[in-house]
Chains A and B, each alone.
Chain A
């Protein structure tokens, strides 16, 4: 058997047949609300996490001035002969 038989509850374009929609009818609204609740929870977890680890405000910290460069001494190079 090269392929699985097709369910009669989907038509040839894989759209749900009226029989399937009627069978799903008692659960459509409850499932939709459950779906919204679960997605909402997932999205809110993401939102909270991203907000919590987003970069802090550093405007009140005074950045010190750039330090003065030390003078270069020619005999301090590490070049052992």
Chain B
């Protein structure tokens, strides 16, 4: 139930009728961790073992599903019926790990899932010590593969030895670990943090941070300066612990990154240091005209009937595990824009990652020619479609034509445009994206990654690109670092950087 004049906490008590649990005593804020940009951003496929070489796309959030199951018994108020399927109240919770007992070496972990991951890593990941031969081309300047030589050296060995400080198998033997200690020390702290966070997720505790609030009063503006002000002004429960902040931002980064750029209260502006360019302001103003429409005098009765504009379409091209995020997480985007409707469209060959129980896809019929999964019962403001196709196929078929810069937006989450493993797939798609003249927002794992993507786009498209948002750190990035199972040296955080571009528009062109 949603009311326009009662705050969410009061509604929650009315609904449950019991005294809400007081938050446990505020924990000491952990000292700021060293932010180490990932040493290489080799993308890999999802965790399922494949015969493909290591140099493939990284799948995002392979544990997205788990959030759904673990947070299953947290009651949420104020949601529409379409979102309640993700909760299973009454599921008995068994606490596996206490909060002070979260560090376990991966091979000896109490959780069978993590032990399986450790076995996978030991089968697939290679030791980064320079003595071994190279296994693949180095992808970034910081890649440990760059230190290895391609001709001389001992044959590459799988990792077997787990560092006692971080508990993750990182080297093939203790000697190599001790030898390479200085470079391991750069990431050891972060690896330990990842270890503890992974165990925390499987510890079976109550997760008050996954209790997402519903829609809020229009007048209660959402402050988009940073995560803390956002969570406070959106009336989340207070998230005092850093670990909880990490867990919750890891999922929320996907909808909120989009929301932070499109909203009129966005932290990106045209002042110096605000990263938005004039062209960016033009594109975003068009979208904001639809997202923040003037009041039309409409209401709930017959006299309040007004013509409604179509939904804002956000095409998430090259979607991987983002499409499996719980729908309440995507609904947070609609709660930022009270008077707009959204249609989120996931397009990509891997857009059904982590959604194995939704197979088989619907049959291809004339009314649904691409066998898309359409979820239109989520809420009155959100509809989600998933296409397992390349974007260029759909574009050439004119399936989403016409594209309107007042309603449409493309979002690319870590596309790896310039990355050698994935850039050939984007070569056909990006020119078509630019042709639509609709804003395209892209994120990247690191600064270097984004610059490489930007350079690739400008080289390939011959400069016919307008920059909308200069590359830089995303204010709403994931605060949690993720481990790449195929290469433990490669740690990344989701949506670290954000930038935007669009095809160049000319008012007139010469007829040559």
Residue numbers of A with Cβ under 8 A of B are 1, 4-9, 11-12, 17-20, 22-23, 25-26
Within 8 A of A (CB), among B220-263: 225-226, 228-229, 231-233, 237-240
Main secondary structure of the interface of B (DSSP, over half): loop
Task: Kindly list chain B residues whose C-beta atoms are within 8 Å of the C-beta of A7.
Answer: 9, 238
**A17 and B240 in contact, given A11-B25, A23-B231 (Cβ under 8 angstroms):** yes
Interface residues on B, range: 20 to 34
Q: Which of B14, B25, B27, B238 contacts A9 (CB 8 A)?
A: B238
Least distance between A10 CB and chain B CB atoms (Å): 8
Q: Return chain B residues, CB-CB under 8 Å to A9.
A: 232, 238
Assess the A17–B23 pair: CB atoms within 8 A: yes
Q: Please tell me if the beta carbons of A1 and B23 are within 8 angstroms of each other in the complex.
A: no
Interface string of B19-41 (1 = CB under 8 A from A): 11011011101000000000000
**Does B123 have its Cβ within 8 Å of any Cβ on chain A?**
no
Determine whether the beta carbon of A26 is less than 8 Å from that of B226: yes
Known: A8-B237, A17-B238, A18-B26. 5 other contacts (CB 8 A): A1-B10, A4-B10, A8-B23, A19-B239, A19-B240
Question: Shortest CB–CB separation between residue B220 and chain A, in angstroms?
Answer: 14
12 sampled A-B residue pairs with Cβ under 8 A: A1-B13, A5-B10, A5-B19, A7-B9, A7-B238, A8-B23, A8-B237, A11-B25, A17-B26, A19-B239, A19-B240, A20-B238
Give the chain B neighbours of A5 by CB distance below 8 A. 9-10, 12-13, 19-20
Interface members, chain B 253-299 (any A CB < 8 Å)? none
CB nearest neighbor in A for B225: A26
Chain B residue at smallest Cβ distance from A8: B238
For the complex, what is the distance from the CA of A81 to the CA of B156, rounded to whole Å? 138
Contact B22 A12 (CB under 8 A): yes
Q: How far is the CA of A16 from the CA of B239 in the complex (A)?
A: 12
> Within 8 Å CB of A1, what residues of B?
10, 13-14
Chain A contacts for B238, CB-based, 8 A: 7-9, 17, 19-20
Within the complex, which residue of A4, A6, A12, A23 is in contact with B232, where a contact is CB–CB below 8 Å? A23
Residue of A4, A11, A12, A25 touching B228 (CB-CB under 8 A): A25
